[in-house]
Amino acid sequence: MPNVPSAKIRNVALVGHGGAGKTTLAEALLVCSGVLNRAGRTEDGTTVCDFEPEEVKRQISVSLALAPLPWGEHRINIVDTPGYADFVAEMEAGLSVADLAVVVVSAVEGVEVQTEVAWRIASELGLPRLVFVNKLDRERADFERTLDQLRALFGAGIAPLELPIGRETDFKGVADLLTDTAIVYENGKATTGAIPDDMSDLEHRVHDALVEGIVVADDALMERYLDGETPSTKELEATLAHGIAAATVFPVVCGSATRQIAVDRLAELICEIGPSPLDRAPTTVRAGDTLASVAVDPAGNTLARVFKTIADPYVGKISLLHVLSGTLRPDVSLVNSRTHTEERLHALQLLRGKEAQPIGEAQAGDIIAVPKLADSRTGDTLAPKSSPVTVATRPAPTPLLSIAVHPKAKGDEDKLMTALHRLQEEDTALSVTRDDETHQTLLSGMGDTHLQIVCEKLLRKFGVDVETEPVRVPYRETITQSAEAEGKYKKQTGGHGQYGVANLRIEPLERGSGFEFVDQIVGGAIPRQFIPAVEKGVQEAMASGGHFGFPVVDVRVTCFDGKYHSVDSSEMSFKMAGSLGFREAMEKAVPVLLEPISRLEITVPAASQGDVLGDLNSRRGRVLGTESADGDEQVVIALVPTSEVMRYATDLRSLTAGRGRFSIRHDRYEVVPQQLVERVVKAAQQPS
């Protein structure tokens, strides 16, 4: 594929709900452009964009894929994104490099949850949008109903440019509202003619409404229109292009990806009125404490951002780059602004699915792949050595669901951690942590399917088979009263024995204070060199678990007396004395069990608020307040025991039909209600 200038590049992200036909549309565009002879099918696992085994198995996209294609003098860089909620981070990555979001909507199911999510994110990014109503050839397809939904949800900017000719299985073409012509498709070939008589009146009414909606954006054009002059198609297209680039007008076109109806018109429209990278707002960069703007300029300083990393077990690491400024050529050296190390870009490639094609250069605005960058990861900025600026990136979504993993094969622990960190480079929504309190390796992601696929990739890509288990809640315990005890350790064997006595007083501290050790030894009752051993023994006893078997916190321990033997005393004997004394005092100090409490901020449609509040109440939650959000949404803020929200990501989706979202963070520890203590302790004692 020849190199093209920035003005002729079109970066397009296909977004929308799962099953709307995004991957099939990408396939149809590749066929239309001549890149493919025949379209693959997601059902057969033969599409260009869904090539990972996990995608073929489930027949869904789980990561973004690139599919560049030539269209006349232009190149359209298609970014096919997943439509499943678990992979929203991939969709965000795709939108971050797009100059136009093509929102694919099924005419059968209409506007669905992830359609709304994609629209909201694109709106936050200020990204131009175009809607493609797909599957008009299917039973129960209804363009008018879908258009009404789009207007109701996304406002007056929705502007239909086409009307379907025929319904359901009789769908055969589209009426072009800008030119007042009909384009009918038969065996993949288009024929242009007059608008059918049975829809002529409707077409003219919608055409007039469209023209009025377009000319409003241009005062001079509107004045001429009001004077009775009919604007030319080129004038309308130019004015429409300005509205699209400003994200104030959102054209709606229609077709069928499987039957190749009006797919060519979509490609034509993207090239004619879709924004190029040169229409993109300048990129804000940071140099130290200074902010600056960098324009999309092929002649400017070279600047690129890694927006996606692919961990390939054979090729190694492949970095997908968005060229923000300048012109990249093979073997150029740039500096990673995060690590300050130099990266040599040995090869530049266009990636289409899993196939790579070398290219000679990439101008500002282009999307390319670079294999084997040594020290760059997703989100990193590559800049000239003379100006190591950093491009701000949208933070990755916070993981919402966790599982614990361990390798099936003993001795694979290091191999597992290496593999997990490689997958983390590939997937910004994946988090890997080691909980020293529960001794579990925690894998956190966006949902069940996300985590299942990560486990499958561990085996397929890195040969690490893992077992999963529920995450253990990090319960703790503390005391409610003061108590004293004598810790005595005496052991006589051949030769030197062991002897140490430590008198301890324990007192409760405020929640969150941790541990405090006080030395009140006077008169040499315990030699100074052994006092640290007493403290260490106490700390080890606290960490290993108190009355209920959980770590002890928020306690002050005072060592106020003791005894020693000039021959038999040692650090070990006083460490044991400290441990024994603490355990005995703990039993007298009325211990209580503590549970972690999480703070949730839940955003839900107003219609779901009652269900969510009732559900929180059933989880022992305390609602702190509610407030209105954008549109018809409510934000609920609540404190809920962590044990009750371990799978809240899944539960909230069920409660709100996928429209709810939430953030969660640890807030505090509180006493477990007495009636639940036995159940918690019993559950903790069961083997994993």
User: Which residues in 423-554 belong to E strands, given as ranges?
Assistant: 431-435, 440-445, 466-469, 476-479, 483-491, 498-508, 515-519
CB of 306 closer than 8 Å to CB of 382: yes
Mean pLDDT of the chain: 92
Say whether pLDDT at 688 is over 60: no
Say whether pLDDT at 539 is over 90: yes
Ranges 22-31, 233-242, 360-369, 575-584: which has the least confidence: 233-242
Q: What is the pLDDT of residue 494?
A: 63
> pLDDT digits over 425-463, tens only?
889 999 999 988 888 999 999 999 999 999 999 999 999
- The gap between the terminal CA atoms of the chain, to the nearest Å, is 55
The Cα 436–Cα 474 span in angstroms is 10
CB of 306 closer than 8 Å to CB of 321: yes
Q: What is the pLDDT of residue 471?
A: 92
DSSP tag of 248: S
User: Which residues in 388-544 belong to E strands, given as ranges?
Assistant: 390-391, 401-407, 431-435, 440-445, 466-469, 476-479, 483-491, 498-508, 515-519
Instruction: Please state, in angstroms and as integers, the Cα–Cα distance from residue 342 to each residue in 68, 318, 375, 376, 579, following that order.
Output: 29, 17, 9, 10, 53
Q: What is the pLDDT of residue 234?
A: 87
Burial status of residue 273 (CB atoms within 10 A of its CB: 0-12, 13-18, 19 or more): buried
Say which residues have a Cβ less than 8 Å from residue 64's Cβ, sequence separation at least 6: 79, 80, 81, 82, 90, 91, 93, 94, 308
Q: Check for a shared fold between 477-589 and 594-685.
A: no
Say which residues have a Cβ less than 8 Å from residue 429's Cβ, sequence separation at least 6: 87, 88, 89, 90, 396, 397, 399, 445, 446, 450
> pLDDT digits over 26-59, tens only?
999 999 999 999 999 999 999 999 999 999 999 9
Give bridge partners of residue 599 from the DSSP assignment. 639, 665
Percent of the chain with pLDDT over 70: 99
Say which residues have a Cβ less than 8 Å from residue 76's Cβ, sequence separation at least 6: 10, 12, 29, 33, 68, 69, 70, 267, 270, 271
Q: Place 308 in a pLDDT band, splitting at 50, 70 and 90.
A: very high
The Cα 112–Cα 105 span in angstroms is 8
> pLDDT digits over 200-228, tens only?
888 888 888 888 878 877 778 888 888 88
Between strands 181-186 and 362-363, the pairing is unpaired
Instruction: Please state, in angstroms and as integers, the Cα–Cα distance from residue 112 to each residue in 14, 55, 281, 605, following that order.
Output: 15, 21, 30, 14
The Cα 51–Cα 43 span in angstroms is 12
Sheet holding 303-312, edge to edge: 342-345, 332-336, 381-383, 303-312, 316-325, 367-371, 349-352, 355-358
> pLDDT digits over 387-405, tens only?
889 998 888 888 999 999 9
DSSP tag of 261: B
Q: What is the pLDDT of residue 233?
A: 85
> What's the one-letter identity of residue 412?
D
CB of 154 closer than 8 Å to CB of 130: no
Taking residue 346's Cβ as centre, other Cβ atoms within 10 Å add up to 12
Domain 594-685 in CATH 3.30.70.240 = yes
Indicate the domain borders of the chain: 6-279, 283-391, 401-469, 477-589, 594-685
> pLDDT digits over 74-100, tens only?
999 999 999 999 999 999 999 999 999
The Cα 27–Cα 65 span in angstroms is 12
CATH number for the domain whose boundaries are 477-589: 3.30.230.10
Q: Which of 97, 122, 130, 109 is nearest to 243 (CA)?
A: 130
> pLDDT digits over 109-160, tens only?
999 999 999 999 999 999 999 999 999 999 999 999 999 999 999 988 899 9
**Helix axes 233-245 and 200-215, enclosed angle (nearest 10):** 60
Q: Which of 9, 5, 213 is nearest to 100 (CA)?
A: 9
Query: Helices (H) and strands (E) in the chain — how many of each?
Result: 16, 37
Question: Could you write out the three-class secondary structure of 192-214?
Answer: EECCCHHHHHHHHHHHHHHHHHH
Instruction: Please state, in angstroms and as integers, the Cα–Cα distance from residue 314 to each residue in 345, 422, 460, following that order.
Output: 19, 13, 12
CB of 672 closer than 8 Å to CB of 475: yes
Task: With residue 535 as reference, give the H or E element that holds it.
Answer: helix 531-544
Q: Which of 515, 494, 668 is nearest to 582 (CA)?
A: 515
Q: What is the pLDDT of residue 396?
A: 84
Averaged over 583-593, what is the pLDDT?
95
Burial status of residue 631 (CB atoms within 10 A of its CB: 0-12, 13-18, 19 or more): exposed
Tell the CATH superfamily of the 283-391 domain: Translation factors (2.40.30.10)
Q: Place 410 in a pLDDT band, splitting at 50, 70 and 90.
A: confident
Torsion, CA 455, CA 458, CA 463, CA 469, rounded to 10: -40
Instruction: Please state, in angstroms and as integers, the Cα–Cα distance from residue 262 to each residue in 173, 183, 189, 207, 453, following that order.
Output: 7, 8, 10, 18, 35
Q: Which of 664, 669, 646 is nearest to 600 (CA)?
A: 664
The Cα 200–Cα 60 span in angstroms is 40
Fold of 401-469: Alpha-Beta Plaits (3.30.70)
> pLDDT digits over 270-285, tens only?
999 999 999 998 999 9
Q: What is the pLDDT of residue 219?
A: 78
One of 3.40.50.300, 3.40.50.740, 1.10.3720.10, 3.20.20.190 is the CATH number of 6-279, namely: 3.40.50.300
**Helix axes 448-462 and 413-426, enclosed angle (nearest 10):** 120
Give bridge partners of residue 27 from the DSSP assignment. none
CA 539, 541, 542, 545 dihedral sign is positive
The Cα 131–Cα 281 span in angstroms is 22
Averaged over 4-29, what is the pLDDT?
96
> pLDDT digits over 606-652, tens only?
999 999 999 999 999 999 999 988 778 899 999 999 999 999 999 99
Q: Place 495 in a pLDDT band, splitting at 50, 70 and 90.
A: low
Task: With residue 595 as reference, give the H or E element that holds it.
Answer: strand 591-605
